[in-house]
Structure formats: C-alpha cells, structure tokens
Structure 1
C-alpha cells in the first residue's frame, strides 16, 4: 500500500461516529481518496489520530484481524 494512505485493511465503520475503526476516515473520504491531491490526503491523515481519540475510538490494528 502507498505511504499516502492510512488504510490498514480493517474496513469497519462505527455506526455512532461514522468513522472507520481501522483508519478513522469517513465513507466520503474513503470514496474519494484516490481523487484527492497528495496535499489533501496528507492533511486528512494528520487529523486522523485526534479524530479517533475525540470520538473515543481505538483504531483496530491490521495485525489484530481474526483469521
């Protein structure tokens, strides 16, 4: 995966916050991610840790996926 993506291949949306548990993006952000300019992607990525923390969510790491 590109370094300009927060995706950890854990795609589950929290029904309360509408944020992805894996990366913290919203569905609209995920949908248009590849159409965003690099600067916009990096800007969104900088917001994700605080966004998840403010929502009270712990990101699900890719290594914690069930097999």
Structure 2
C-alpha cells in the first residue's frame, strides 16, 4: 500500500480544542496534521489507529485520549 492510497482523516471541521489540543473534527494535533503529507503508509495507519483510540476514549468519557497525545512524540 502506498501512502497516498490512505486518505487524510480530515473531515473539514478544523477547530482546535484548547483543553485537549486536538482538532475537533479529526482529533489530530497540530504536529500530526502538519506531518501527514510526509508520513509513509505504516505511519499513516498507526496514526489512524491512535485517532480511533482517542475516539473510543472520548466515547468512554476517559482521559486516555489526552494522555495518548501527551505520550506520543510528533510524527517525523
């Protein structure tokens, strides 16, 4: 699979949540948004999995999504 075969998770709701630092639409950080064009396919897939984890954490009402962002280094 090639990187450009994996679509951006952007949904066109581009507002950063001041509490979490996540985009309210796609749940990415600024670093993740800016790194997306340079990520290879495995890194894009890994980021998509982290975004899914954040969404699950948000639905569960936990702080896991916020902890995930603090723990993850920005993509290269």
Q: Say whether the 8 Å CA contact 1:24–1:49 is kept in structure 2.
A: no
What is the alpha-carbon root mean square deviation over aligned residues?
A: 1.7
1:23 maps to 2:26: yes
Unaligned runs of 5+ in 2: 62-76
Give the TM-score normalised by structure 2: 0.62
**CA–CA distance in structure 2, aligned partners of residues 49 and 14 of structure 1:** 17
**CA–CA distance in structure 2, aligned partners of residues 51 and 41 of structure 1:** 15
> Between Structure 1 and Structure 2, which shows a larger proportion of helix residues?
2
Using CA pairs under 8 Å that are at least 6 residues apart, name the structure with larger relative contact order, 1 or 2.
1
Q: Say whether the 8 Å CA contact 2:6–2:41 is kept in structure 1.
A: no
Give the TM-score normalised by structure 1: 0.69
| Corresponding residue to 2:15 among 12, 15, 19 | 12
